[in-house]
Structure 1
Amino acid sequence: MQAHVKDFTHRLVASPAGRIHLVEQGTGPLVLLVHGFPESWYSWRHQLPALAAAGYRAVAVDVRGYGRSSRPADPAAYRMLDLVEDNAQVVRALGEETAVIVGHDWGATIAANSALLRPDVFRAVGLLSVPYTPRGGPRPSEIFARMGGEEEFYVSYFQRPGRAEAEIEPDVRGWLAGFYAALSADTMPAPDAADPHFVGPGGTLRDRFPTGPLPAWLGEDDLDVYAGEFERTGLTGALNRYRNMDRDWEDLASLDGAPVTQPSLFAGGLLDASTTWLKDAIDAYPVTLPGLVSSHLLEGCGHWIQQERPAEVNRILTDWLAALPG
C-alpha cells in the first residue's frame, strides 16, 4: 500500500560518492532515516507522514549503492567511514547543522557509527532491529566463518563478488519476496525448520525461503517498488556493505569498545534473530548505550519492525523524540 507517497518530496543532494537520493516530508527538527538490506527509502513510508504530523522534518535516504543514489564501482567505497560522511553531508545539504538519526538493520549500525564518529552532527540515535555492538573482538570474517558448521552463514555467502548476485538477479522479485517472508513474523519458517540465515553445502539462500503468501505488511505494489529498484540497479551496491566488514574493523580500531553516549532508543522484534542472537548486546546497554532513553522488544514481531508494526513504531519514535532535550 503506497499511502501518502504523493505527499513526499524527492530530491538529489551532493555527496562524496556523487549524489544521495532522499525523500522528505514535514518541517521542524531534522530526523534522518537510514534503511537496511535489501530495502530503500521506501521502508520508511509509514514513518515519514507520522513524523511530519508530529512536527519533524523527516528525511529518508537511499543509502549509497541503492535506488537513485550513486553506486561507485570500487567495493571499498562502501566502507562505514564513507557512509557516515554521506549522512553528515546530507544534513549539511539540507541546510541543517544537527539531526537525530534513526536506522534499521544495516541502517542501525550506520546510525550508531554516525553518532560515534560525528557527535557534532548527530545529537541522538535510534536503532531498530539490530542492537548496538561496539567494535571489538576478532576480525568479522573469522567469526562468520566459524558459524554454522558445514553450513555457510549468509554474511560469508555474500562476500565473494558476483556469487549472491548470480542467485538473486535472475528473479529479483521472487528472491526478495522469499527473503522478506523468511524474516517476517507471520511467514517465517517454523523453529524446527532449516534456518534461512544459512546455506547448505552446494545450495543457495533461496532454498530455505518460504514459498507461500506474502507477509501481511507487504502488498504486491510494495514488492513492485522494491523489485523495480533492484531490477534497475542490480544488487552489487547493496551487497558491497557486507564486503566491507573487515575493512570497517580495521578503519574503526580507535572506537574499540566505545559507547554511544547520545540519547538513544532501541526497538526490536522478539521473533527476530537479530535480537535473539544478540541478546548479550541488549543486556550490555547500560554500558554500551549509557544515554538509552527507552528500549522495546515487540511480541510477535519479526525483523521488518517499522513495516510489520508501523503504528507501534511510530508511537515509540514520536514519544522518544518528544522527550529529547532541545
Structure 2
Amino acid sequence: MPQSPFPDVTHRLVPSPAGRIHLVEQGTGPLVLLVHGFPESWYSWRHQLPALAAAGYRAVAVDVRGYGRSAKPAEVSAYRLLDLVDDNVAVVEALGERSAVIVGHDWGATIAATSALVRPDVFRAVGLLSVPYTPPGGPKPSEVFARMGGEEEFYVSYFQEPGRAEAEFEPDVRGWLAGFYAALSADTMPAPGAPDPHFVRPGGALRDRFPTGSLPSWLAESELDLYAEEFERTGLTGALNRYRNMDRDWADLADFAGAPVTQPSLFAGGGLDASTTWLADAIEAYPTTLPGLTASHILEGCGHWIQQERPEEINLLLADWLSAVAPR
C-alpha cells in the first residue's frame, strides 16, 4: 500500500457489500467522501485531504471496490454503479455518520452523481470533477460507443472486452500508467491534430498513442511509483470491470431515466479535457439536470487530472463551496 505523505491521516478497512472498503481519513467536522476515478486510488486526493481537514471537514478518500486494499469481487457484474453506491452508503454508516457530501473525479464523478441520485437521504450535496452529470437513459451505451471513431475503436469499447486491456497493461504497469496519465494531462497530451489517444487503430493497442518522455508536471517519479506498486499488486481487472457494466447500469437505472440530481452541486472541469469538450451539451443542460448547481468552473489550460494538476485551485473551490452547502 502507498505510504501516506501526511502524518495525520488514518487508514481504515470498513465492512461493505463488497467485503471491505479501504479508506484514508483526515480531519474532523462534516463528512466529505472523496471518490477517485480510473486508473487511480485514494492517493489521487492526497492534496485535498489536508486542505479539507484544515478547512474544518472530515475528509475521507476511499479505494473504490476493485482498487487498492478494497475488496475485489471476482464476478464482473459485481461492479455495477448500484453496488458502488451501496459501498459508499456503507462507508458513511461505518464512520458513524448519517449523511455526507460526496465528491468524485472521472468515474468517481459518475459514482458520486449516482449516489446522490439514488440515495438523497444519505448524500446531501455532490461535487463533480472532470466528468459532467448526464441523467440515466438514452441509447444503450455499448451501441453508442461502437459507432464512435469510424474504423478506429473507442477506448471504452476496447476496455469492455475482458482480458484485452489487461494483456497490454500487465507487462509494463509503470510505463502504461505513465503514458495514460501523460496522454490526458495539459502539458504532455498530444498536440492538436495528432492521433487521438482515446481511439485504437485496427490491430493496435491503446498505448500506441501514449506520449513518451517526460512525466506530467503534476506527477513526480515517486508518486508514479506509488500508483504502479498498487496496480502491480492488484492488476487492472477490478478497475476495468467498471467499464464492463455500463449496459447493466443502463438497465438498473431505467427508473431514473432523465432524472435530475436536485441536491446542491458543484462542477469543475479542465478546458483541455475531452470529457469537458465532448460533453459540452451536458454542461449546458445543467439548469435542468442539476437544478441545485451552485458553482460551475472550467479551468482553462487544465487537462483531465484536475485535482492533481491544479490542487490549489480545486482546494479553494471545494472549501468555498463546502462552506455554503455543509457549514461547520
| TM value normalised by structure 1 | 0.99
Aligned to 1:105: 106
Would you say how many aligned residue pairs link Structure 1 and Structure 2?
Answer: 326
User: How far off its partner does 1:184 sit?
Assistant: 0.1
Question: Does the 8 Å contact 2:105/2:131 carry over to 1?
Answer: yes
Q: Which amino acid aligns with 2:183?
A: A
Aligned-partner Cα distance in 2 for 1:78–1:3: 27
Q: Which amino acid aligns with 1:45?
A: R
Question: Does the 8 Å contact 2:267/2:297 carry over to 1?
Answer: yes
Aligned-partner Cα distance in 2 for 1:149–1:86: 37
Aligned to 1:314: 315
SS in 1 for 2:74: coil
The alignment status of 1:156 with 2:173, answered yes or no, reads no
Question: Does the 8 Å contact 2:25/2:49 carry over to 1?
Answer: yes
Cα-to-partner distance string for 1:176-232 (whole Å, 9 max, x where unaligned): 000000000000000110000000000000000000200000000110111000000
SS in 1 for 2:20: strand
Aligned to 1:130: 131
Gaps of 5+ in 1: none
User: How far off its partner does 1:156 sit?
Assistant: 0.1
Closer, same or farther: CA 96–279 of 1 in aligned 2, 3 Å: same
Q: Indicate the RMSD between aligned Cα atoms, in angstroms.
A: 1.1
SS in 2 for 1:188: coil
The alignment status of 1:8 with 2:40, answered yes or no, reads no
SS in 2 for 1:18: coil
The alignment status of 1:60 with 2:92, answered yes or no, reads no
Aligned to 2:190: 189
Once the two structures are overlaid, the 10-residue window that deviates more, 5-14 or 135-144, is 5-14
Question: Does the 8 Å contact 1:265/1:320 carry over to 2?
Answer: yes
Q: Which amino acid aligns with 1:167?
A: E
User: How far off its partner does 1:258 sit?
Assistant: 0.4
- After superposition, residues 226-245 of structure 1 pair within 5 angstroms as 226-245=227-246
User: How far off its partner does 1:4 sit?
Assistant: 4.1
Aligned-partner Cα distance in 2 for 1:239–1:12: 22
Aligned to 1:198: 199
Q: Which amino acid aligns with 1:239?
A: L
User: How far off its partner does 1:323 sit?
Assistant: 1.0
Question: Does the 8 Å contact 1:4/1:49 carry over to 2?
Answer: no
Aligned-partner Cα distance in 2 for 1:80–1:324: 25
The alignment status of 1:42 with 2:40, answered yes or no, reads no
Aligned to 2:172: 171
Aligned-partner Cα distance in 1 for 2:281–2:153: 23
Aligned to 1:246: 247
Q: Which amino acid aligns with 2:166?
A: E
SS in 2 for 1:127: strand
User: How far off its partner does 1:108 sit?
Assistant: 0.1
SS in 2 for 1:58: strand
Question: Does the 8 Å contact 1:267/1:296 carry over to 2?
Answer: yes
User: Runs of 4 or more off by more than 2 Å in structure 1?
Assistant: 2-7
| TM value normalised by structure 2 | 0.98
